[in-house]
Amino acid sequence: MDITEHEQKVFELENEAIVAPEAIPLASFFKILSDPTRVKIILALGSTSLSVNEISTIIAMSQSSVSHQLRILKDHNFVLSERFGQQIHYTLTDRHILTILNCGLEHIKE
């Protein structure tokens, strides 16, 4: 009995376990990106490190709101902090985060 290409693909997908352990952390990753303020912060950090004051000026939000969102981003390993004198500057932990957001921006602009 010959198996069709489609049936073969379905069989392969069943054996790849689409409900892989990575599904939960991947959903959590996108949940962090689901907040517009966090997206603005990530995009602002895309080209340089910034202080809370600089970020709040760039995205026109209060420092306390920005600090709250930075704490969430830091807790989920999206940003790193580094002290420069009396200021703390934030940077992205990895450029993939920015790449994902830029792909999303390209998609919605189509």
Domain regions of the chain by residue span: 23-109
* Spatial distance between the Cα atoms of 3 and 19, rounded to a whole number of angstroms: 25
Q: Which of the two residues, 52 and 15, has the higher pLDDT score?
A: 52
What the block records as the tokens of 65 is: 């709101």
Quote the distance between the C-alpha of residue 22 and its chain's center. Answer: 16
The per-residue pLDDT for 84 is 87
Q: Is the pLDDT of residue 17 over 90?
A: no
Query: How far lies 24's CA from each of 16, 46, 90, in Å?
Result: 16, 26, 27
Q: Is 23-109 in CATH node 3.40.50.300?
A: no
pLDDT digits (tens, 9 = 90+) for 29-64: 999 999 999 999 999 999 999 999 999 999 999 999
CB atoms within 10 A of CB 30: 10
pTM as predicted: 0.82
pLDDT digits (tens, 9 = 90+) for 71-91: 999 999 999 999 988 999 999
